[in-house]
Amino acid sequence: MNPALELVSVTAGYGDVPIVREFSARLQAGSITTLIGGNGAGKSTLLRAIYGTNRFFSGQIVFKGETIERLPPWERLRRGVGFVPQGRCNFPAMSVAENLKMGCYTLPKAVHDSAIDRVTGSFPMLRQKWRIDAGNLSGGEQQILEMAMVLLVEPKLLLLDEPSLGLSPKMQGDVFTTVQRIAAGGVTVLVVEQNVRGALLISDRALVMEQGRLFMEGPAEEVRTDPRIKQAYLGGNIHQTAA
C-alpha cells in the first residue's frame, strides 16, 4: 500500500535556523499517527513544514505521489493537506457562521452550503452557537470549530497541533473521539499531543522526536509500553535524553 504522506530527510525551521533535521517518515492512508517529543523537539515545526508555513531547507514531502514541499500553503490545502495550528486558531470577532464561511474559502461558491451542512451535521454544537463570535466560545468549542473549518474542504491528510491543549478531561475525550471518527472516514491524521497517553490510545503508530530528529517509531502500543518513553513522557520523572 502506498503511503499517504512520505517525508524524506526533511530539514525545516525559521529564518536561518533549522529545527527539524533530516526527518523521514511514512504515514499510511487512514491511519492516526502521534508525534511525541519534549518541548522544543520540533513537533510543531514539522507540522508547519508539511503545511508550508515556515522555512523549508531541504528534503522532500511526497503527498499522494506528488512532491509538495515547494508549494504555498493554499496549494497544499487544495491538494488535500489540512492543518489545524495550536491554540485558538480562528477569527475571534467573527461569528461561528462566518468562521465556517471562511473555511470554505478555497471551495467553489456553489458547494459552500452543502459543505457547511455536512460539517455541522457532524458537530451539531456549531449550529447552536451559529451567531456567537468564535472568541466567545469555550476552548473546546473553539477547537471543534477549527477542526470543522478545515474539514469543510475534505482534506485527505489532517495535521493537528495540540488539539486537546487547555481542555477539560471530558472535552479532551470528545476531541479524541472526534479524531478517531475523522480517521475512520479515510483521513490520514498526524497529531501532536501534550496528552501523550490519550493520543497513543487512539493512534495506530507513533513517531518520537528528539532535538529535531526522529528518535524512534513504531506501532502506538509498542511505543506506549517502551520503558524509555514511559520514563520520559508518560509520568516518568526527569527527562533522560537518549539522542
Partner 1 sequence: MTVDAVYLLQLTLNGITLGLIYALIAVGLSLIFGVMEIINFAHGELLMLGAFAMTFALPVMGLLYWPSLAVAILAIMLVGLVIYEVLLARLKPDEFERSILITLGLSIIIIHVMQYLFTATPRMVDTQYGFEGVSIGSIRITWTRIIGAVAAAAAFGGLYVVLRHTQFGRAMRAIAQNREAALMVGIRPRVVARNAVVLAAGLCGLAGAAISPIQLVTPYMGQFLIFKAFALVIIGGLGNIPGAIVAAIALGLIESWIGGFYEIIWQEAAVFVIMIAILFVRPDGLFKRGGMRVG
Closest approach of partner 1 to the CB of residue 49, in Å: 13
| Burial (CB count within 10 angstroms: exposed 0-12, middle 13-18, buried 19+), residue 242 | exposed
Closer residue to partner 1 in complex, CB, 77/232: 77
Closer residue to partner 1 in complex, CB, 105/130: 105
Cα gap 169→159, rounded to integer Å: 22
Q: Which residues contact 216 (CB under 8 A, 6 or more apart)?
A: 207, 208, 223, 226, 228, 229
Query: Could you list the residues that contact partner 1 (CB under 8 A)?
Result: 51, 53, 72-74, 77-78, 83-85, 88-94, 98, 101-106, 109, 146, 149-150, 153
Closest approach of partner 1 to the CB of residue 90, in Å: 5
C-alpha cell at 58: 531541504
Closer residue to partner 1 in complex, CB, 30/85: 85
* Beta strand pairing call for 188-192 and 32-37: parallel
C-alpha cell at 60: 522532500
Closest approach of partner 1 to the CB of residue 104, in Å: 8
DSSP code, position 134: G
Cα gap 161→83, rounded to integer Å: 8
Alpha-carbon distance values, 162 to 58, 158, 190, 215 (Å): 26, 13, 11, 20
Closest approach of partner 1 to the CB of residue 53, in Å: 6
Closest approach of partner 1 to the CB of residue 61, in Å: 17
Cα gap 160→82, rounded to integer Å: 9
Alpha-carbon distance values, 153 to 80, 87, 111 (Å): 8, 21, 10
Closer residue to partner 1 in complex, CB, 37/103: 103
Closer residue to partner 1 in complex, CB, 77/175: 77
Closer residue to partner 1 in complex, CB, 57/91: 91
Closest approach of partner 1 to the CB of residue 147, in Å: 11
